[in-house]
Amino acid sequence: METTHAVLRGAASTSELLLELVAANRAGRPLGLPSVCSAERFVLEAALRRAARHRTVVLVESTCNQVNQLGGYTGLRPADFAALAAEVAGEAGYPLAGLILGGDHLGPYPWRHDPAAAAMAKACDLVRACVLAGYTKVHLDCSMRLADDPGVPGDGLSDETAAARTARLVEAAEEARRELLADRPAPLYVIGTEVPTPGGEVGDGSGPSVTTAAQVERTWSLCAAAFAGNDRLRMALDRVVALVVQPGVEFGPDVVHDYHRTAGTRELSGAVERLPHLVYEAHSTDYQTREALRELVEDHFAVLKVGPALTFAAREALFALAAIEDELRGGRTGGDRRDGPASRLRETLERVMTAHPEHWRDYYAGDAAARRLARSFAYSDRIRYYWAHPEVAAAVDRLMGALGERPIPPTLLGQYLPDQACAVRRGELPARPSPRELVRHKVLTVLDDYAAACGTD
């Protein structure tokens, strides 16, 4: 897309790029932007190296669970995430002018078991920290009930309360913005939610309900009303660029609900055209086909979030490399003095995940065997919560070290990573690719689908 190159030449800010993208999509041009929603280094390396090669803008986002002012499950605060992204960009030779930082589902979700006053205070702190760290795309989500909200537990929160809390978070963001240099881009906002909980993977066989046009109009009217009583928020309303709605896409441990054009999705697509300066943002687009992603962009879903599919691809590559390691060691999983210690990656992950089940036990059902398979292979990929654990990280380092010291025979590479073996023969990968290159290439196979769908190549 032509505005991409303008940004990389320094002719526009990343906020201006997003505004131009929104305008182009609303005008009927099938342009979109993938949102890489991950703090995993393999994923960030793949995304930024690809962007450097194609000279495209890249949007990377952290969720409220991954990264927050208390560290999140990655141990990173917003400033740490920004520094990590900048470091990886520097290693890739990618200009920071093209790097857009975003926050996903920013709000009280991590503190939903606290009373509303405490949870919202922490949510405001999170939003402030993100804006001060340089996040320019901010998705705000106050859809969840908090501990002392009136009503029956399990019921949804009223739309009016969610809108009022969203306005409070925007006010916190605008206050933080005033602490920044005047030439820093103003934050752009995304509001709404598609699921009861962030990353809300479905576990049964039923697909999600498509958001109705009436729900879209109500979300926007309540947002506008919540902003109307505050001069600062009235100006910020013009920087709400997208709504998160549900177009019928979702995934569970072993199921993917694909995007289909129906009367409901056509009505949804038309609804945003009747609202000012807005597009949609689609969440949980992981595992959609390239054709489905393209149709989403054509139907005004200008931002496509992807996260678990990227870490799923990285996990596939790491498991394949662990199997290659075993083959090269003659099937031994233990270490000896000649080969050095084995990575024991699979064994380490299983031990750590069973010892710390809080990130997966509420997502996987069935007997012990079914849950064991889900821990390793589910689409919902709860393994992504464990890569930062010291024992798991050490096992990955051992694997990278062991395979980096000896060539992988092409026949063995073809057995476990056939697409990457073909890429070697085509010259897309070196004749002797490093294990990190193989993992990144596996992630790239997912990113390529998004780039093709969004027209960003």
Helices 213-228 and 263-273 meet at what angle, rounded to 10? Answer: 30
Amino acid, res. 398: R
Q: Dihedral through CA 99, CA 100, CA 101, CA 105, nearest 10?
A: -150
Superfamily the domain 312-442 falls into: putative tagatose 6-phosphate kinase domain like (1.10.400.20)
The sign one gets for the Cα dihedral 227, 228, 233, 236 is: positive
Which neighbouring-strand residues pair with 281?
A: 244, 303
pLDDT of the residue at 115 = 97
pLDDT of the residue at 154 = 72
pLDDT of the residue at 5 = 45
pLDDT tens digits, 148-197: 999 887 788 999 999 999 999 999 999 999 999 887 889 999 999 875 44
pLDDT of the residue at 6 = 46
Under DSSP, is residue 283 helix (H, G, I), strand (E, B) or coil? coil
Task: Specify the residue for token string 């009217």.
Answer: 221
CA distance 35 to 305: 5
CA angle 238/240/242 to nearest 5° reads: 135
DSSP state of 187: P
Of 106, 102, 184, the residue nearest 135 (C-alpha): 102
**Using an 8 Å Cβ cutoff, are 278 and 240 in contact?**
yes
pLDDT of the residue at 339 = 64
CA distance 214 to 229: 24
- 66, containing H or E segment: none
Domain extents in the chain: 2-306, 312-442
Q: 452 φ, ψ to 5°? A: -65, -40
Which neighbouring-strand residues pair with 188?
A: 137
pLDDT tens digits, 314-339: 999 999 999 999 999 987 554 444 56
Superfamily the domain 2-306 falls into: Aldolase class I (3.20.20.70)
Q: Which residues in the chain show pLDDT less than 50?
A: 1, 3, 5-7, 11, 196-200, 202-203, 334-337
